[in-house]
Structure 1
Amino acid sequence: MKGKVLEGSSRNLFLGFVLIALCSGCASYVTPGGGVEIAQLTTSPDRNINELMAIEPAAQFPASMVIARVQAPGYKNHRNESFGEGRFSVVTSHDVEQETDYQRIASMPMVKTAGPINRMLLPTQLDTIQSLRTAAARLRADILLLYTFDTTFHVGAQQFRPLNVIALGFLSNKEVTVSTTASAAFFDVRTEFLYGLAEATARESQHSSMWGSSDVVDDLRVATEGQAFHLLTTEIEKTWNGIVQTHATHKINQ
């Protein structure tokens, strides 16, 4: 009996070595890091209802706006990585966002200026958006616009979550789908008042015969996230128009 057990173990060990040998030469792709729940990054997420209702908007209109992309701690993708440690991180270089989309945001009504946050103003430890509000205040901004990407991969029926490894050799003749949900939130720099939210989702699929390069896989991610941000820009415009109607008009009439 012991001989049979040893024989079986040796066979399994041999097969394991074979698989390692086969996969050692295979390229792989690591899915990008995750997004964050922006609403959970407020200075005091455990405030009671009365405290939340007591927060008042204080932005001046036309408003100066600072834009920041926030992601999960330690976020990185095939071409980029984030800055900061703590409950979230900030991506300060743009690999999927188009300049035309930023120009659309900057040209929205009652926007004086709009631009990305400066990495030099950020502390290393990032636990709440208080750090981002402080950086925005140094730029004399009224509004802090935060956005994040939540991207998942599907290969056939299998779903790959953030920071999963996909062996490219096993993508042969499979349908690969990338789905990205882009979410955004407008905060008052002075008081952390939440003005509004926006969200958009994009999906891109590609049938792969044999992907041997992680760059090819990442091109699909870039296309999907770029489309998601483009769609998000439209939703940002809609949300901002409502903010202007509610808050800017009220201040003008005072």
Structure 2
Amino acid sequence: MPILWLVIILGIVEGLTEYLPVSSTGHLILATELMGYDAERWALFNIAIQPGAILAVVILYWKTFWGVLTGLFEKSPGAIAFTRNLLVAFTPAVVLGLALGEYIDDLLENAVVVAWALIVGGIAILIIEKWADPPARPDIPEDQVGGAVATMSFKKSLLIGLVQCLAMIPGVSRSGATIMGAMSFGIDRKTAAEFSFFLAVPTLTGATALQMFKARDSIVASELGWIGLGAFVSFIVAYIVVKAFMAVVTRYGFAPFAWYRIAVGAAALVWLGAI
């Protein structure tokens, strides 16, 4: 397969799966293996194109981010609470990411780990969907700075951040861990999904910056064009997916994503000859 098509496909996979509870990293690893390429060699590319997906959320929710930014200068309680919640939830991933960096890099090369994580994560989503009883979305003014995320408590934000760390295992899904964790701690579906979107901005930005810095000597100028193309494709796809995601979740919940994870994980195990 020509490199051009591989880059476009990986960009589509990144944009399609980054904000869905199905694991973008897991899908990128499996997609690379499926097309006959060395997953280890393309691991850095898969990380480098994440800014495209990050930008999609920033643009879609620019009013929220701008409101929080200006609100911080005005010492708005909503802006302060929104920022506090993101920082509190982001911190555990920073600490563990720095401590377990080499171990995580090894897991990124293991497609079997990805397949099993997809299955286990799918089962976990089904259990949480059945037993969690998230409340109705809080009734807040439309001009509330930070929206419903600003109403979340320090404790719940920290707990969600700790659960997010499970996503360091490829295949677990960062969005899936944060959304299901939030629902388990009494956050309504829509707020849980939005918090996952917002939390992705510092988390993915930090992870991308760290990995790119560590691999700075191995990046060649000839690959920057491919990275730019992959990031652009992921931006377009992520923009569309995030807009449609809430409508799907509101109508069908998260169970369809759980069954999809289980099916893909099982198929991957068969294809990899692991079962």
TM-score normalised according to structure 1 size: 0.26
Between structure 1 and structure 2, the one with the greater Rg is 1
When you count helix as a share of all residues, which structure comes out higher? Answer: 2
TM-score normalised according to structure 2 size: 0.25
When you count strand as a share of all residues, which structure comes out higher? Answer: 1
The higher-RCO structure (CA 8 Å, 6+ apart) is 2
